[in-house]
Copies of this chain bind each other. A is one copy, B any other.
Amino acid sequence: MKNEDEPKDKRVKAADAQKLTMAEVAKYVGVSAMTVSRAFRQDASVSEETRKRIMEAVDALGYVLDLSAGSLSSRRSGFIAALVPSINNSNFSDTARGITDALENTGLQLLLGYTDYSAEKEERLIEAMLRRRPEGIILTGGSHTDRARRMLDKAGIPVVETWEIPEEPINHVVGFSNSEAMSLLVRALANQGYRRFGYIGGTTARDTRGSQRRSGFLKTVEELGLGPGRVISFGVPPITMEQGGQAVVSLLERWPDTEVVLCVSDLSAFGAIMECKRRGMNVPVDIAIAGFGDYEISSICHPSITTINVDCYGIGQQAAVRLLDAVHGGGSMGDEITLTGYKVVLRESTNRGGT
């Protein structure tokens, strides 16, 4: 059935390839373009025999489907957009991995962007993403510019906000209360007998999750009658390991009798612990230190670091699953909140008895 008056070699030059179209594949096989299009989808009704012949031709010619044309026609872009504050933070890259994994074999492609913890950059990214007509979008946190909210609203696609519980959710939320999680950690440590609490975090409110953790800390220390909490703000969020080290020095200079220091993340906690050891202090005997996020480093570090374990991967995965439900359900989405778990992980760095 092959088109014999236009013999094709198995090897086609790149120049040809660039303009190889579905119609040419169809001509080569001797069917219509429509049939070739159907052969690429599993649901369509094409006889096995025809599909096989088409796929052989696709292979021989080296044809690659053009989804940009397809999505224009079908009005389905096949994209899901996701914005995370940083791709270099393993908590968020775990979330990104959760999203990607959930999207595997769904035919959906992830468009990933990072906002650098900036609402303005988020706004620009949202616009850039919407130009690709994603079928859904996953955001981190609930702080967005007005224009961003308007654009999302008009786009009419399902939105999932993650990693925290916004005061005014857009659609669905997959996350947990950072404030309550930090509160749980404070109480757990107070239970162990700690009384004089310090806290290390960044200087601005850019990192809303960080701010929530701090306010959870302050509120709980107060509630337990142990206030006021001793807070050191150091560095633009997200604060680094090194800044954690510098901050703990400031904190101990100012309040030398501090018993336990909670940090906005494990990274700063690690930096703080290492700086203390470098200065000859014994953690946890001289000073106890805890983090947040349960990064890989915290279970390996010596001393291992007390922290809050958060289901980063699960946040991404569940957000994607919710979005898939909505996309397959016709683009509408219930405005529910999916709470993800967290738990205190007590380790050596806050062991009152010493290591």
A274 contacts B245, C-beta separation under 8 Å = no
Distance in Å: Cβ of A100 to nearest Cβ of chain B = 7
Residues of chain A from 22 to 52 with CB closer than 8 A to chain B in the complex? none
A300 contacts B270, C-beta separation under 8 Å = yes
A66, CB-defined interface residue at 8 Å? yes
Looking at A109-117, A173-181, A196-204, A206-214, the stretch in contact with chain B turns out to be A109-117
B296 contacts A240, C-beta separation under 8 Å = yes
The contact string, 1 if C-beta is below 8 Å from chain B, for chain A 49-80, is 00000000000001011111101100001000
A297, CB-defined interface residue at 8 Å? yes
Interface size on A, residues (CB 8 A): 57
Question: Which B residues lie within 8 Å of A133 (CB)?
Answer: 66-68
Among A110, A112, A150, A299, residue most surrounded by chain B Cβ atoms (within 10 Å): A112
Find A128's partner among B94, B109, B131, B300 (CB 8 Å cutoff): B109
Task: Specify the main secondary structure of chain A where it touches its partner.
Answer: helix
Looking at A10-18, A219-227, A250-258, the stretch in contact with chain B turns out to be A10-18
A270-B300 Cα distance, complex, nearest whole Å = 8
A144-B44 Cα distance, complex, nearest whole Å = 32
B64 contacts A127, C-beta separation under 8 Å = yes
A87 contacts B77, C-beta separation under 8 Å = no
A97 contacts B88, C-beta separation under 8 Å = yes
Question: Which B residues lie within 8 Å of A109 (CB)?
Answer: 111, 128, 132
Distance in Å: Cβ of A158 to nearest Cβ of chain B = 11
Distance in Å: Cβ of A183 to nearest Cβ of chain B = 28
Distance in Å: Cβ of A157 to nearest Cβ of chain B = 8
A90, CB-defined interface residue at 8 Å? yes
Question: Which B residues lie within 8 Å of A87 (CB)?
Answer: 87, 93, 96-97, 100
A151-B17 Cα distance, complex, nearest whole Å = 10
A111-B82 Cα distance, complex, nearest whole Å = 12
A328, CB-defined interface residue at 8 Å? no
Question: Which B residues lie within 8 Å of A150 (CB)?
Answer: 62
Distance in Å: Cβ of A341 to nearest Cβ of chain B = 21
A300 contacts B156, C-beta separation under 8 Å = no
A293, CB-defined interface residue at 8 Å? no
6 example contacts (A-B, Cβ-Cβ < 8 A) are as follows A62-B154, A64-B154, A67-B132, A87-B100, A270-B297, A297-B297
Further pairs besides A90-B90, A100-B114: 7, Cβ < 8 Å: A14-B154, A62-B154, A64-B127, A68-B132, A109-B132, A112-B112, A270-B300
